[in-house]
Structure 1
Amino acid sequence: MGEKVLMKGNEAIGEAAIRANCQCFFGYPITPQTEVAAYMSKKMPKIGRVFLQAESEVAAINMVYGAAGSGVRVLTSSSSPGISLKAEGISYIAGAELPCVIINIVRGGPGLGGIQPAQSDYFQATKGGAHGDFQMPVYAPASIQEMVDLVQEAFDVADMYRTPCMVMGDGMLGQMMEPVEFKEREKRELPEKDWAANGLRGRKTHNVINSLFLKPEELEQHNLKLQRKYDAIKKNEVKYELYNCDEECDLIIVAYGTTSRICKNVVKMAKENGIRLGLIRPITLWPFPVEAFEKTISKTRLGYISVEMSMGQMVEDVRLSVNGRKPVHFYGRTGGMVPHPEEILSKIKEIVGFNSEAKDEVAGGIK
């Protein structure tokens, strides 16, 4: 075991990126992720790497495009409205097949919303996030340690598949402090970046980075190529945790990030009330862990309940994974409100009292 260090989540993100050999950081301050940029501004110049505070989020993501095109590891970070501004650039990066890591420390919305933690960017992150037929891997850490591990994982996956990757945590994870250990990681066999626009380097022609295909036949072939890549990511890169799902349950909770930590306490509290609960914790939000539902569908008596800090954005993916075989319920808080274990348990007690033949697929929400 290595030495553990007490760190704020945002600062741990920066340190994890540095240790993953990130060479460039481009960003713009926005609460509650500004400490990522502040940490990188102090550390990167001291070790001969690039930190640049751009004039806007739009500028920052286009700087990421340029640096990624040269083949170096590059990071940007923002919070919800800032990610919206980066959306066009993220689509260009995906279209040009460039690796990079994007951090989203989510705050309440829509609009300027508030600076409290939320999970209401799920649709934006997992359903493409911008224009065109593309996807990107989205990681949802539940602790500062996992944030560190998944930032480093994201850089490897980005390089492996030539894709942008997002690490999405809520504002609570960005601001809280926990002990973290920077472990020696098992190294992946990563492909050479022989596509990079970094000079001739013995080649007869320059590499060109581009996402523009004016002939529809060529663009269709490019999209089919991208889809084959996304299919490989779905096959190889799904991550999830099953908690207390070994035996038959009354109900299985589905929750990610900070909410999943709250729900683990709910599982323990429910046991004291004679209610047996399980928990599926998606670690990759895309690809979504459909396999976890195949493993648990026969073990849940009354189906599933999606618990979120949103109005139920993940419910759609839960419902698609369950495919009508069991009821799917929902409980959520929104606008920066964090659900308490007692209120989640109260909702679960209400559901457990329902007839298991009930056909209403989605119940719950804000009381």
Structure 2
Amino acid sequence: MSKVLMKGNEAVGAAAIKAGCKYFFGYPITPQNEIPEYMSKKLPEVGGEFVQAESEVAAINMVYGAAGCGARVMTSSSSPGMALKQEGISYLVGAELPAVLVNMMRGGPGLGGIQPAQSDYFMSVKGGGNGDYFMPVYAPASIQETVDLIQEAFDVADQYRTPVMVIADGMIGQMMEPVEFKDVTHRKLEEKTWATDGTKEERKPNVINSLFLDAQDLEDHILKLEEKYNLMAENECRWEEYKLEGAEIVIAAYGTTARIVKNAIDILEKDGIKVGLIRPITLWPFPDKAFDHIDSTTKTVLTVEMSRGQMIEDVRLALNGKLPTAFYGRTGGVIPTPAGVVEAVKKLVGGAK
């Protein structure tokens, strides 16, 4: 298939429609506005529906309704808007409803700015809403990977009956790259017999909610959800390794930050400093096993993020005290440079000597 040059946000919409998404509910916020714009134009062409809700809170509850009917549904937003959706996301998890949620991250806290950031890691991975829950979180590093993961996210959501989040910094949404819309082999999925799509007088009505008034019933439900989390942790963990063999320093980074890190690694290699990269593709489940692949030559693991340090907590847990950790990051919409990463690595190497 031929490649087509597309803006990241528009590619998100195209990938969702190719995956069978028929409903989109959202509310405008920079830097993801081209996603709802694209969906408003293209969804009616495939028999779908687009609704610009009156707020982010309304949008996520519309997602709940469509997901409860068994439809493939998506919403998108950026950091403050996604924060407003957290209650609804918790409801989706509790009611076991599949949906795809896209967050094109910008700087915060509060309204912050419109420049790229990665400071929503905690909100996405640790469960931004109430209760004991997790959901799969993908972090693509290119527009092509975003397209591929969006399509996979719909299958994963249906397979496990869970919302799935795709997070990327605003650069992914705003830049343009060539992408290929491949013929995807979809997973074998069970019929949605649980959906509230009308009884047709052939069965009892299905009931979908997340309310359990009896404490024991709620605990049993949470433990049932935990079984799904364990399955996802076993089967859905994904990461990339780059030049780990013989590395003196290993860098952990995700998304477009990892692309910047690769440039820095190539620069450092010319200076005779061996550095490797572990790039988590799923932020939840976090790829703990990837850190078992670190060579005995490695002295330190450096986490690089567009934040003040959030993923580093999971890196430390994965290492379990086996190696010291360090951090380098920019925040507020400032993008790390290869030169900045090179300098951070050289300080570590110099300190080790």
Q: TM-score, normalised by structure 2?
A: 0.99
- Aligned partner letter, 2:146: M
Q: Which residue of structure 2 lines up, in the alignment, with residue 360 of structure 1?
A: none
Instruction: Tell me by how many angstroms 1:299 deviates.
Output: 3.7
Q: Following superposition of structure 1 onto structure 2, how do residues 217-236 of structure 1 map, counting pairs within 5 Å?
A: 217-236=216-235
For the residues of structure 2 that align with 1:113 and 1:299, how far apart are their CA atoms?
42
- Aligned partner letter, 1:293: F
Identical positions, percent: 62
Q: Following superposition of structure 1 onto structure 2, how do residues 111-126 of structure 1 map, counting pairs within 5 Å?
A: 111-126=110-125
For the residues of structure 2 that align with 1:108 and 1:300, how far apart are their CA atoms?
36
Question: Per-residue displacement from partner, 1:269-326 (whole Å, max 9, x unpaired)?
Answer: 0001110010000000000000100121x34421210000000001100000001110
For the residues of structure 2 that align with 1:336 and 1:343, how far apart are their CA atoms?
15
For the residues of structure 1 that align with 2:224 and 2:103, how far apart are their CA atoms?
27
- Aligned partner letter, 1:127: K
Question: Per-residue displacement from partner, 1:156-215 (whole Å, max 9, x unpaired)?
Answer: 000000000000000000000000000001121112111101111464301011100000
- Aligned partner letter, 1:344: V
> Of residues 259, 263, 266 in structure 2, which corresponds to 1:265?
263
Q: Which residue of structure 2 lines up, in the alignment, with residue 280 of structure 1?
A: 278
> Of residues 322, 325, 330 in structure 2, which corresponds to 1:328?
325
Q: Following superposition of structure 1 onto structure 2, how do residues 93-112 of structure 1 map, counting pairs within 5 Å?
A: 93-112=92-111
Q: Which residue of structure 2 lines up, in the alignment, with residue 344 of structure 1?
A: 341
Instruction: Tell me by how many angstroms 1:65 deviates.
Output: 0.1
Instruction: Determine helix, strand or coil for the equivalent of 2:279.
Output: strand
Q: TM-score, normalised by structure 1?
A: 0.95
For the residues of structure 1 that align with 2:203 and 2:235, how far apart are their CA atoms?
35
Q: Which runs of 4+ in 1 moved over 6 A?
A: none
Question: Per-residue displacement from partner, 1:224-259 (whole Å, max 9, x unpaired)?
Answer: 0000000000000001000111x2111001000010
Structure 2: give runs of 5+ residues left out of the alignment. Answer: none
Instruction: Determine helix, strand or coil for the equivalent of 1:178.
Output: strand
Question: How many aligned positions are there?
Answer: 353
For the residues of structure 2 that align with 1:130 and 1:350, how far apart are their CA atoms?
39
Instruction: Determine helix, strand or coil for the equivalent of 2:343.
Output: helix
Instruction: Determine helix, strand or coil for the equivalent of 1:353.
Output: helix
Q: Which residue of structure 1 lines up, in the alignment, with residue 288 of structure 2?
A: 290
Instruction: Tell me by how many angstroms 1:68 deviates.
Output: 0.1
Instruction: Determine helix, strand or coil for the equivalent of 1:12.
Output: helix
For the residues of structure 1 that align with 2:23 and 2:350, how far apart are their CA atoms?
54
Instruction: Determine helix, strand or coil for the equivalent of 2:209.
Output: coil
For the residues of structure 1 that align with 2:68 and 2:222, how far apart are their CA atoms?
19
Q: Following superposition of structure 1 onto structure 2, how do residues 1-367 of structure 1 map, counting pairs within 5 Å?
A: 2-201=1-200, 203-245=202-244, 247-296=245-294, 298-355=295-352
Query: Comparing 186-195 with 199-208, which one deviates more in the overlay?
Result: 199-208
- Contact 1:75-1:102 at 8 Å conserved across structures: yes
Structure 1: give runs of 5+ residues left out of the alignment. Answer: 357-367
For the residues of structure 1 that align with 2:313 and 2:348, how far apart are their CA atoms?
19
